[in-house]
Amino acid sequence: MSFTAVRTRLLEAGAAPLATLTALALLAPGTTTLVPASSATAPPAPTVLTAAPLPDDEPFAAPVASPVATLASAGDLEAEAIALADEFGAVPVDESGVLCPVTDLEVRWSEPDGITHGAFIAPVGPRPDERTTGINGVVVCGDSTWAFMGFEASSDGVTWTVL
């Protein structure tokens, strides 16, 4: 099948971003026939989608990595961070990819010294209290030194949002 035929099929299906088309051309050398633009089938006209504008007093919601976005206490915040690490498989115990059991995951409010894989936003900690509005922490696997997951959380004074 020629590149143009593949491109046309993708366009008809409504899923043909330039990156996809470029990837097809790069991933299938020798099996793809490139056709000069002058003989290529023209793509269909783009569809313009419109939506009602948001009122000025409605802010955009921040992306949340977990379906549970509201948390009442630091303990709930820690439980949610652990649930996120477990859900995403973010804390393997070694290079084989074996994941840390959820029962061994723990939140720390200090930089993960000696752990080789992971990322966090500084500064980390201290453990949040009722005056804390933003905090960074890490989830580690007990005594393992292989990997950790950093997280960010913010509070409006009533609820926490974990990112």
**pLDDT tens-digit readout, 79-102:** 889 999 999 999 999 999 999 999
Domain ranges of the chain: 3-39, 74-162
Contact of 136 with 121, CB cutoff 8 Å: yes
DSSP 8-state code for residue 157: S
- Please report, for residues 9, 107, 118, the alpha-carbon distance to residue 111 in angstroms, rounded to integers and kept in the order given: 51, 11, 11
pLDDT band at residue 160 using 50, 70 and 90 as cut-offs: confident
**Cβ count near 144 (within 10 Å):** 15
pLDDT in tens, 26-70: 444 444 444 444 444 555 555 554 445 555 555 544 444 444 444
Entry pTM: 0.56
**Rounded Cα gap, residues 35 and 3, in angstroms:** 7
What type of residue sits at position 58? E
